[in-house]
Amino acid sequence: MNKATYIYHYKLIPVILRKAIIILLLTIAQSKSFSQTVIQTDNIFKTGDINISSNVCYYENNQKINIDSVLSLKEFFWKKNERKNNLNLKISNNVYWLRFRIKNNLNKPIKFYILHSNKGINNLELYANSNNQLNFLGKTGDYLPFNKRPFRSTNFVFPISLNANEQSEYYMYCDKQNENLNTSIHLYNESRIKKKEEKTLLFMGIFLGFLALSFTVTLSLFLFYRQKLQLWYSFYILSVINILMSYEGFDFEFLFPNHPFYANISRFISSSITIVLMMYVMQLFCNQKPNNSKLFYVTRLIMWFIGLSIPATLIIYCFYPYFILKKIHFYSFMIQQSLGLLIVLSGTIEKMIQRFKPAIFYFIAVVMLLYSGILASFREMGIINYSSDTPNQLQWCFVFEIMLISIGMLYRYTLIKKENETLFQELNQQKINSLKQVFQTQQEEQQRIAEDLHDLFGGQLAALKLKINSENISNAQKEEISGLIDQLSTNTRNIAHNLAPIHLHNNAISDIISVYIKQLNKEQKTQFQFIQIGEPINFKKELEIDLYKILMEFIHNILKHANASEAGIQFFFKENELDVLIEDNGKGISFESTQGMGINNIKKRVKKLNGKVHIDSKPGNTTIIINIPLTDE
C-alpha cells in the first residue's frame, strides 16, 4: 500500500467518526420522539380484545408501605408518567408502586402475561384489585432465587387471567432502590410469550455457540503456538460470553440460581473484567509498548483503575449499600467503561498512524462496540430508550467484534510471517555478505603469504644455489645440493600457487592452468595436456579460486600417487555450465583413497559451487568429471 493510499485511509477516520456521531444523535432523537403508551400490547391481541383504561401512574416513597395503605391513597398522591414511551425515574433512594387498569372486552376468559422490561429489578410484587377483591399474583426479582419466579424466564413475567368482560386494577411494587429505574411494561398472549422466549434462546444459543467455537479455536492455537496474545484473547472471549449471559440473566438461571446476591452485581463485575481484558488484548494485538506508544502507561493506569473497582463493587454492595455510595459507584462505572473504550480506540488510531495495518480491524470493532455501549449507557441512565430485546445492538456488536478481531489476528499473523520471512532473507544476506568478507580477507592473507614465499623465500634459495656453486666442493655434492634446492624451490612455488594464484585476479583460469601445466611439464616426469573446448566466459572470481584449488588438489594427487606418465585436463564450456574432465594412465584410485581427506575436501568445494563430481577409476585409466553451473558476472 503506497503513501497516498495510507493518507486516504487516515482521512476517512474523521469522516467515520462524524457519521457515527450523526447516527448516535439520530438514534437519541428517534428514541425521545417515540410515542406510545407505557403498556405495550402484543400485536396478536386483536383490536378490542382488551382495553387499557389508563397509562401507568406511580407513587414513590423512601420506604415500602403495605398494599392496604396503597389502596387508601388519595388520587393526588399518584403521579402520571410524563414519558409515554417508558418509565424513567432516574437514580433515587425511593421505592415505587405502579398502577394501571386492564379490561377484557371478550365474552370469554383470557390469559396473558405482563412483562417488566428491566432485568435488574431488586423486588417486584404484583397485586390485582377486581370487584373489590384483592389478589396477590406473585413475587419476583434479583433478590429472590430463580426457581421462585412465577414464570421461569430471565425476564420478569407475571401470568395473568381475566374473566369475561372483567376489569382489574393492578398494583406493582417495584424496588430498584439506589439505582436507576428505567423500564416499560408489555402485555403478551400465551403464544407470543413462548415465541419471545424461543427467540431469546435461539439467538443466545447462536451467539454463545459462535463465541464458544472461537474460544476453542483460539485456545487450541495457544496450545500449539504458545503465544501470549492467543491465551489472553481466549480469556477475553470467555469474558464476553460471561457479559452476554449476565446482561441476559442466563448466568443467574444456569450458574447460580440459588444465589441472587451475585445477580445484582454480576453486570458490573463482568463488564469491568471485559473492558480490562479488551485493553490488554489491544496492547498485545497492536504490539503497544513503552518504546513505541505514548499511550502505553495511560492504558495500564486505566486498566488498574478499572480492575480495582471490582473489589470496590463487592465491598459497597456487601457492606455499605448506601444510596450515595451506590450512586457514585454507578456513575463511576459508566465513566470507567467509556474511558476504557476511548483509550482502546485511541490506541488503535495511534497504531494506524504508525502504519500497523492490523490495527484497523480492532479500530472498526471498537467503534461499533463504543457506539452500542454509549446507547446502552444512555439507556441505563435514562437518557434514551431503545429496545433491549434479544438480539439487541450490544449483543450483535460483541459478536461482530470477536469476528473482526479474529480476522484481524489471522491477517496479523500473515503480515508478521511475511515480515519474518523478509527479515530471515535479510539475515541470510547479511550472513552471506559476512562470509564473503571473511573469504575475501582470507584470500588477501593467503595472497600475501604466497607473495612472500614466492618473492622472498624463492629468491633466497636461488642466491643460495649460486653461492654453493661458487664454493670449493665436489661436483657430485654440488649436483646433490642443487637438486635439493631445485626441489625445495618447486615445492615452495607449488605452495604459493596453492595458497593463492598470484595472477588469477588479472587473468582467466584457463590461461593460468595452461601456463602452470607448461611449467610442470618442464619439471615433472608426468606430462600434462590441457585442452579447452567452447567459448570461455568470465565468471565470479570466488568460483575461479575454488575451481583452481580443486584442480591443484587433483594435479597434486596425480603427481604424488598416480605414478602416471600422461595426464590430461579438458575444459568444456557450455551456455550455463562448465564440465571439467581430468584423466591419467596411472595405477588408479583405491576405495580407501576416495574416503580420504583430500577427496572429501574436493567434494566439499564442488558442493559449495552447487556442482557435481563423478570419479571412475581402475588401473591404467582414471577419469574424473566435474560439472559446475556458471553465472555470468
pLDDT digits (tens, 9 = 90+) for 161-202: 999 888 899 999 998 877 777 777 888 888 888 888 899 899
With CA atoms as reference, report the closest residue to 39 among 27, 28, 51: 51
- Type of residue numbered 392: N
- Three cell numbers written together for 258: 440459588
- Say yes or no to pLDDT of 631 above 60: yes
- Structural element, H or E, at residue 136: strand 133-140
- Say yes or no to pLDDT of 224 above 60: yes
- Say yes or no to pLDDT of 134 above 70: yes
- Say yes or no to pLDDT of 62 above 50: yes
Identify the pLDDT of residue 289.
92
pLDDT band at 633 (very low <50, low <70, confident <90, very high): very low
Q: Confirm if 264 and 143 have CB atoms less than 8 A apart.
A: yes
- Three cell numbers written together for 85: 414511551
Distance of alpha carbon 624 from alpha carbon 554, whole angstroms = 9
- Say yes or no to pLDDT of 103 above 70: yes
Write down the domain spans for the chain.
39-194, 227-391, 507-633
pLDDT band at 8 (very low <50, low <70, confident <90, very high): very low
- Three cell numbers written together for 53: 383504561
Instruction: Give me the percent of the chain exceeding a pLDDT of 90.
Output: 26
CA atoms within 13 A on the CB side of 503: 10
- Please tell me which residue, 398 or 44, carries the higher pLDDT value: 398
Secondary structure E strands in 176-241: 180-183, 185-189
Identify the pLDDT of residue 518.
85
- Say yes or no to pLDDT of 51 above 70: no
- Say yes or no to pLDDT of 303 above 70: yes
For the segment 31-42, the average pLDDT, to the nearest whole number, is 42
Identify the pLDDT of residue 173.
94
With CA atoms as reference, report the closest residue to 64 among 116, 128, 118, 124: 124
Q: Domain 507-633: which CATH class?
A: alpha beta
Instruction: For CA atoms 240, 241, 245, 251, give the dihedral sign.
Output: negative
**What are φ and ψ of residue 619, in 5° steps?**
-55, 125
State whether CATH 2.60.40.2380 applies to domain 39-194: yes
Identify the pLDDT of residue 618.
86
Residue with cell 384483592: 134
With CA atoms as reference, report the closest residue to 285 among 174, 187, 408, 201: 408
Question: Cα 208 from chain centroid?
Answer: 22
Length of the chain: 633
- Three cell numbers written together for 297: 502507561
- Say yes or no to pLDDT of 19 above 50: no
Among 44-58, 436-450, 569-583, top mean pLDDT goes to 569-583
- Whether the upstream peptide bond of residue 321 has omega within 30° of 0, thus cis, is no
- Say yes or no to pLDDT of 467 above 90: no
Residue with cell 523478509: 422
Distances, alpha carbon 123 to alpha carbons 148, 161, 173, 386, 520, in Å: 12, 22, 8, 23, 112
Identify the pLDDT of residue 4.
44
pLDDT band at 447 (very low <50, low <70, confident <90, very high): low
For the segment 535-540, the average pLDDT, to the nearest whole number, is 74
Contacts of 459 (CB under 8 A, 6+ apart): none
Instruction: Give me the percent of the chain exceeding a pLDDT of 70.
Output: 75
